[in-house]
Amino acid sequence: MSEVVLATPRLILRPFRPEDAEDFHRNVMADEEVMWFLLGVKSFEETQAFLESRDRIPQEGKPGLWAITLKDDPAEEVVGYVGFLAQTLEEQPVEEISYRLASRLWGQGMATEAARATRDWFFKHTTLESFVGFILPENTASSAVAERIGMRYWKDAIVKGFGVAVYRMVREHWAGSLFAGHCCSP
């Protein structure tokens, strides 16, 4: 099956490649600001293990993770990721939207831009009815991204031992709103 690559006005979202590990580690996993809400910075070996364990390449009908690169960067330096992780909530399988972006790019709307593109891809290319976001209550920036892409607070839960706010987006809400517009290609 061919690679799924998404383009937004400023970003390219593409599957991770083995050579992305160094950029991803430097820009995301070793950045104290990015990892503040994610149990601290990771070693290079932990970054490699994360990439290997998350080897879910987005394909038609099957969500996964995309590396984020800047459209105007010919070196295609990986500055984050966005996509979906298979998780469990109250013993039920769910897809969790997840996004991390290099802190030097915060405050420019890029996390929202990437999350919108993957949200639209999710509903256009899978038959799944919803996805969730697990957000620590003090991570207000992540909550703001979730709300800007149309997710709504659903409930509080304990996930992997942490109290989180669970945000959710359902297909019906997406399809019946302005969110179903074309934000990206393909």
Q: Report the predicted TM-score, pTM, of the whole model to 2 decimal places.
A: 0.88
Hey, what are 154's tokens? 């659903």
pLDDT digits (tens, 9 = 90+) for 30-62: 988 877 876 778 889 988 888 877 656 666 667
Total number of domains in the chain:
1
Q: Does 1 reside within a domain?
A: no
Q: Does 185 reside within a domain?
A: no
Sign of CA dihedral 109, 87, 52, 124: negative
pLDDT digits (tens, 9 = 90+) for 158-185: 998 889 999 999 999 998 775 555 444 4
Q: Does 30 reside within a domain?
A: yes
Q: What is the residue range of 161's domain?
A: 6-180
Q: Domain containing 150 — which CATH number?
A: 3.40.630.30
Q: Does 186 reside within a domain?
A: no
Residue partners of 110: CB distance under 8 A and separation at least 6:
10, 11, 68, 80, 101
